[in-house]
Chain A
Amino acid sequence: MYDVLIIGAGIIGSAVARELSRYNLKIGVLEKELDVCVETTGRNTGVLHTGFTYKPGSLKAQCCVEGNAEFDKIAEELKIPFKRLGKVVVGFTDEDKQSLLKYQDIGRRNGVPGLRLIDKKELKDMAPDAGGEFAMYSPTSGILSPFIYNVALAENAKQNGVTFYFDTEVVGQSRNDNYYILKTTKGNFSTRWVVNCAGLHSSKISTMLGIPGYKLGFFKGEYYVLDKNAGRTLNMLIYPAPGPTGGFATHATPTVDGNVLIGPDSVQIDCLDNYENTKSSMDKLFSDGRKMFKNMKREYCIRNFSGIRPKLIDPETKDVLDFVIERRDTVPHVVNLVGIESPGLTCALPIARRVIKCIKEVETLYDRKNFNPCREEIICFANQSREVQQQLIEMNPDYGEIICRCETVTKAEILQAIHNPLGVNTMTAIKNRVRAMMGRCQGGYCQMRIAELMQEELHKKETEIMYGRKKSHMFTGKVR
């Protein structure tokens, strides 16, 4: 019997698990995929937002400002690659200026620090690559690795006693006297509390738990990933001024690893299983991208991907609604989260604290004595000085074997990723943890070595090696 079962191991589920692990509770996380960050969390721009576009007083605004302010501490505790680069939202016309002033005002009302309009000269000094006549400067915007952040939260939760179940999809529930039985593809789980962190599937799970009526709209955003050589001079986030509808047009965002993301666009879709990149979006992103980022060239493109934002839509007005974080007396012991989309990454821990507040309204939670908020990272060989690299190799010769040449990832790092604390073992899991296969050759050099290492280390047959998703077999057998 669990005290709390969390449905979904994305950034929200993992943050809730980590925050709840501060208390004396038996906690489990049920995830339908083979790893954390497979859906929305692993498919976005990786930006730490500040909160100047959200309606004052909304949960989105409150959580975003709170999450942004505390992130240096979080990144330190959990060892998450993070850079507070700052953002410029650039404009050309009077309309743009009005738009920027409007957002500056919203930002100030939300408590976003440091927002100010800057002139062309200051803009050029700050971001030589940016076009535009003027801009709004947002000093607290940042970039982070969404993969590592999600992994770190989950690992830290696990370290503090939480159990993670992967490949475990919740398909039904029943309520006994004072507990729930969650039916999953891996059998039944009993729990006193259920937290719905199912992201894309949150309205479906909400209905299953007895809270029907939420209507999600799914908006797909496509991206190009550009080579590190394209991003050498991109030192901050450069966004165009939002148009009348409020959305940002195509923009270029550096990643913490030094690549550049071009995108996302936004196209409403009805099928949830649809991460396909489409010719129309790819072509549009390419031509829009070229207008605003000088290195948007075919030779720098290394990958495309897409993500889906589950937006809660008002059925009448079609407006996008705020996050839902609720506990209803009529549906006891359920904390229901629906419509968590951007800025979900920034808001994850503030949302988690609000979930705990919901639980505390019903029962007293007792602190776990030896909660440890810190998580150890896998040391990134490539980012170390020559002296440290030499010491690492002397300490462990596996640091002297480069497996992924594009990202300079060593065997020592790959082995740590293979034996990761969550016990996840897909190729994508390795990639998300140590960047191997993420570079310009996309695994052309290291994929076979990693597949072989996985077999050796985990005593798996080649037919058991998965690329990322369920049933994503890499191999059909041996040649001989």
Chain B
Amino acid sequence: MKKNFTCIICPNSCDIEVMFEGNAIGTVNGASCSKGIEYAKNEMVHPMRTITTSVFVQQGIVPLVSVKLDTPIPKEKIFEVMKFIRDIKVTAPVISGQIIIANILGLKSNVVATKTVEKV
């Protein structure tokens, strides 16, 4: 049996083909790098994604701070995580790299600011 994936690791977007037999993953073809092979294998068992969004900032010079997850979470948890982030408010100043929410929903991923927002 085989399954095909479009790699999302980099813009090359490799077409990767994974051969498998039941639960056993066999050869992986088409990936240009080792990250791609790992990605395809992961997609077979448990797809993981990171997301980026925004958090409301009080007393900031702009209303929103952009944030990202610093490690991927299970794909099916995306909307739960979004729901949690949506209600969070932070107060300026916020520094890029600052952890806004640690270990969100116990998924071992932190919500991290990706820009600096100064106080008004």
Contact = CB atoms under 8 A, between A and B. Distances in A.
Interface of A: 479-480
Interface in B8-40: none
A480 B100 CA distance: 15
Nearest to B64: A480
B62 to A, nearest CB: 11
A479 B63 CA distance: 10
Given A480-B56, A480-B86, 7 more contacts: A479-B54, A479-B64, A480-B54, A480-B55, A480-B63, A480-B64, A480-B89
Contacts of A480: 54-56, 63-64, 86, 89
Interface string B54-98: 111000000110000000000000000000001001000000000
Contacts of B55: 480
Contacts of A479: 54, 64
6 contacts: A479-B54, A479-B64, A480-B55, A480-B56, A480-B63, A480-B89
Nearest to B63: A480
A480 B85 CA distance: 10
Nearest to B86: A480
B71 to A, nearest CB: 24
Pick the 7 closest A-B CB pairs, nearest first. Answer: A480-B56, A480-B64, A480-B54, A479-B54, A480-B86, A480-B55, A479-B64
Contacts of B63: 480
A476 to B, nearest CB: 15
B33 to A, nearest CB: 36
A9 to B, nearest CB: 37
B20 to A, nearest CB: 41
B120 to A, nearest CB: 14
A479 B55 CA distance: 9
Contacts of B56: 480
A123 to B, nearest CB: 57
A479 B56 CA distance: 9
Contacts of B54: 479-480
A108 B63 CA distance: 65
Nearest to B89: A480
A480 B55 CA distance: 7
A197 to B, nearest CB: 44
Contacts of B86: 480
A326 B91 CA distance: 67
Contacts of B89: 480
Nearest to B88: A480
A456 B64 CA distance: 17
Nearest to B56: A480
B85 to A, nearest CB: 9
A465 to B, nearest CB: 16
A77 to B, nearest CB: 45
B117 to A, nearest CB: 13
A321 to B, nearest CB: 58
A480 to B, nearest CB: 4
A106 to B, nearest CB: 63
Nearest to A480: B56
A479 B86 CA distance: 9
B113 to A, nearest CB: 14
A479 B54 CA distance: 9
A480 B64 CA distance: 8
A432 to B, nearest CB: 29
A125 B25 CA distance: 80
A479 B66 CA distance: 12
A479 B67 CA distance: 14
B55 to A, nearest CB: 7
A449 to B, nearest CB: 13
A480 B89 CA distance: 9
A475 to B, nearest CB: 13
A480 B56 CA distance: 6
A480 B63 CA distance: 9
B111 to A, nearest CB: 14
A480 B83 CA distance: 11
Nearest to B87: A480
B83 to A, nearest CB: 13
A455 to B, nearest CB: 12
A272 B54 CA distance: 44
A215 to B, nearest CB: 55
B46 to A, nearest CB: 30
A2 B98 CA distance: 65
A153 B54 CA distance: 47
A444 to B, nearest CB: 20
A232 B31 CA distance: 54
B101 to A, nearest CB: 14
Nearest to B85: A480
